[in-house]
Structure 1
Amino acid sequence: MSNTAVEESDAADAEHAPLRVGIVGGGFIGKAVGEGFVEHEDAAVVAVVDIAEDVLEEAGEELGVDADSQYTDYETMLEAEELDAVLIGTPHTLHYDQILAAFERDLHVLCDKPLTTDLDDARDLVERDAERDEVLMVGYQRHLYPAFRAAKEVWNEDGREPRWITAEVSQDWVDRFEGAWRQDPDLSGGGYLYDTGSHLLDGVLWSTGLTPEAVSANMHFLDDEKRVDGRANVTVRFTNDATATFSLSGETPCMREHVRMWDEDGAVTLDSRDWEPSEYAEIDDESGEYRPRLSRKDQPTKAEAFVDAIETGERPVATALDGLRVTAVTEAAYESARADGSFVAVDPDDVALDD
């Protein structure tokens, strides 16, 4: 075989080789999203890291990773393994440094929400990501839900934009995660708003495409230092004079989520229970309520959406800018709640969408 033929064969093999993924964090996200890579024909989980050896062993067994590719140190895994991508499913405040380490090695990154809990860090990642060819995707799964995608299509129509928005989410978060890292502000960066609330903020910001201008909030904090909230009420004012009110409670016995987005012609509604993808309806001022049939059969997993972005070179479904927008609103909400609840301005450079 000629050298040219060998080179062409090697290139073809590389093109069809599975994406080699390292799992960072062997907890729920690492295993649940990692399973999507295990099942993907174009991906393979080849390594996993977690600081807790029992968690590491369980994740390794579930994801089919050999013991010699299980690590308790992230940097060691990056140095020892030949990887194409990492899935980061660790506590929130660790994301920034772990993403940077992956960037330094030109790896694709799928990072669980939130992108970061520090506004300067989020800005830095957006700037760095713009200079890279590799994919950085944030794990906001509502971008994959047919209901939120349908809502986004409505508000993309000419002449339509929501003016009055209400959104609420509730679950048994306070009791369930007592003593866990999610209520340790050094690891979580905050409380319920930075955890489940991050998904709700993102779902509204992404599907409406509105630009936040200022944020007001009041919170019930679980600690004297006012770092961990168990309940929050947040009002976001947008540049088009629209408002969104968010009600978040981590003290209810089960999970429910309800979103209403109105303009002068009607509304879209999204309702979810127990973490199922949202049900969708449209309200028209003339014909009443309409519930189109939305197929979930073609709804991709996070792993599928991530691999697709890598293979096609298209922008991922949830970008670093999406992550920055949520962090900017979240940080303004905490600033307001820790003061007197008055409106805190949001830097327009942090929340302006790309053209």
Structure 2
Amino acid sequence: MTTNKLRVGVIGCGAIAQRRHLPEYLARHDVEIVAVCDFSEERANQVKEQFGAQYAITSTEQLLAFDEIDAVSVCTPNQFHAAVSIQAMKAGKHVLCEKPMATTIEEAREMVKAAEENGVYLMVGHNQRLMPVHQKAKEMLKLGKLGKVLTFATTFGHSGPENWSVDGAKSWFFNKDQAFVGAMGDLGVHKADLIAWLIDDPIAEVSALVGTLHKEIPIDDNAIFLLKTSGGSIGTLTASWTYYPNEVNSTILYCERGTMKIGADPVYGIVVEYADGVKEHIEIGKIQTNSEGGQTNSGVIDHFVEGILSGEGHEINGLEGLRALEVILAGVEAAKSGQIRKVSH
């Protein structure tokens, strides 16, 4: 880079770009938004004006041809994550790709390979582990006072993309070809990343029940995974698009010497109840939600920008994204077969 600012482009101008990526880029003094790209010229122009980008274009190739762009956010439908990210990395751009990073293991591996071969950074937008409550919870778990996590329940649910996407009920989230899976790819993959990171124990086995229970859509609106970690802990992962009206984003850890509840209390971010009767109530930040009053900065853009400018890279790299995707794809297979699937990391 020839300037002390990171110069970025954003590919895909939907809700995640408008509500997370672009506002968070704009809030930083060391970032310059060079170009935004969307197949809808009208939307690209609106976003350009709103966030002060220099250019609004409709061609990914045209955006990637800008020599002055150092890094890109890939905010396209899931189907295009891998192809666009690889194209960007081959053009020498650092990439922040939304989750799930790809629709197949092969695609994800190609993304990791492209980053290595082109000497650029690849980060995946798993924001859960960047939330203050989860950072604090991990710090507390490391102290060892609770002992080993024996069982867990992690849940992420809301009323569905029709209430979040800029396209409403016509959103690509409901297009099976573009989304590939529903609630488990939208929300479940976040929790697959979170739980393994939080308890520092990779997921080894998955069984699953996946269904379309209420919405008239061709993909799942609910998924419940039963997970077993390499260290022997077992628990549930629930992803839902039918939590009306309130969003739930919580994790409960049942440990040898007590229970930790994260995001489950209306006042305190973390509540710990020890087996000896002692209780801790920790008020720290807010769980990020799509509704008013939630965490306003996801931390994703900060992590992406600072990892590039410092030269230190990213904790949530392509390999981490691949591990979370493996859990989701194992769940897809488990649901189809009715059998437990092993996760090969």
* TM-score, normalised with respect to structure 2: 0.87
Listed one character per residue, the Cα deviations across residues 120-177 of structure 1 (whole Å, up to 9, x for unaligned) are 1112223443455432211111122111112222333469431201112221117645
Alignment pair present for 1:291 and 2:288 = no
Superposition map of 1:303-342 within 5 A: 303-340=301-338, 342=339
3-state secondary structure, aligned to 1:246 = strand
Structure whose alpha-carbon radius of gyration is higher: 1
Residue 4 of structure 1: aligned partner: none
Residue 206 of structure 1: aligned partner: 197
Alignment pair present for 1:167 and 2:154 = yes
Hey, what's the Cα distance between the residues in 1 that align with 2:306 and 2:267? 21
Residue 252 of structure 1: aligned partner: 243
Distance 1:265 1:128, change over 3 A: farther
- In the TM superposition, residue 299 of structure 1 has moved relative to its aligned partner by 7.0
Structure 2, gaps ≥5 residues long: 287-294
Listed one character per residue, the Cα deviations across residues 240-262 of structure 1 (whole Å, up to 9, x for unaligned) are 11112122221121211221112
Distance 1:250 1:286, change over 3 A: same
Alignment pair present for 1:241 and 2:232 = yes
**Partner residue of 2:7 out of 7, 20, 25:** 20
Alignment pair present for 1:150 and 2:150 = no
**Partner residue of 1:345 out of 334, 342, 345:** 342
Hey, what's the Cα distance between the residues in 2 that align with 1:88 and 1:335? 27
Hey, what's the Cα distance between the residues in 2 that align with 1:120 and 1:277? 43
3-state secondary structure, aligned to 1:110 = strand
Residue 255 of structure 2: aligned partner: 263
1:117 partner letter: T
Superposition map of 1:1-355 within 5 A: 14-16=2-4, 18-32=5-19, 33-66=21-54, 69-80=55-66, 82-131=68-117, 133-157=119-143, 160-173=147-160, 176=163, 178-221=169-212, 228-253=219-244, 254-271=246-263, 279-294=269-284, 301-340=299-338, 342-347=339-344, 350=345
Distance 1:298 1:132, change over 3 A: farther
Do the aligned partners of 1:34 and 1:87 also contact (CA within 8 Å) in 2?
no
Distance 1:268 1:315, change over 3 A: farther
Hey, what's the Cα distance between the residues in 1 that align with 2:276 and 2:117? 49
Do the aligned partners of 2:251 and 2:264 also contact (CA within 8 Å) in 1?
no
Listed one character per residue, the Cα deviations across residues 257-311 of structure 1 (whole Å, up to 9, x for unaligned) are 22111220112211169xx999222221124321234357997732222111112
Hey, what's the Cα distance between the residues in 2 that align with 1:55 and 1:236? 41
Percent of paired sites with the same residue: 24
Do the aligned partners of 1:146 and 1:299 also contact (CA within 8 Å) in 2?
no
Hey, what's the Cα distance between the residues in 1 that align with 2:161 and 2:24? 29
1:269 partner letter: K
3-state secondary structure, aligned to 2:182 = coil
Do the aligned partners of 2:202 and 2:229 also contact (CA within 8 Å) in 1?
yes
Listed one character per residue, the Cα deviations across residues 214-253 of structure 1 (whole Å, up to 9, x for unaligned) are 1100111379xx9611111111111211112122221121
3-state secondary structure, aligned to 2:45 = helix
- In the TM superposition, residue 324 of structure 1 has moved relative to its aligned partner by 0.7
1:162 partner letter: V
Do the aligned partners of 2:72 and 2:93 also contact (CA within 8 Å) in 1?
yes
- In the TM superposition, residue 315 of structure 1 has moved relative to its aligned partner by 3.3
Hey, what's the Cα distance between the residues in 1 that align with 2:298 and 2:157? 25
1:257 partner letter: N
Do the aligned partners of 1:141 and 1:302 also contact (CA within 8 Å) in 2?
yes
The count of aligned residue pairs is 328
3-state secondary structure, aligned to 1:291 = strand
Do the aligned partners of 2:133 and 2:285 also contact (CA within 8 Å) in 1?
no
Do the aligned partners of 2:184 and 2:240 also contact (CA within 8 Å) in 1?
no
Aligned-residue Cα RMSD (Å) equals: 2.7
Listed one character per residue, the Cα deviations across residues 40-66 of structure 1 (whole Å, up to 9, x for unaligned) are 111110101000122112211111124
2:84 partner letter: Q
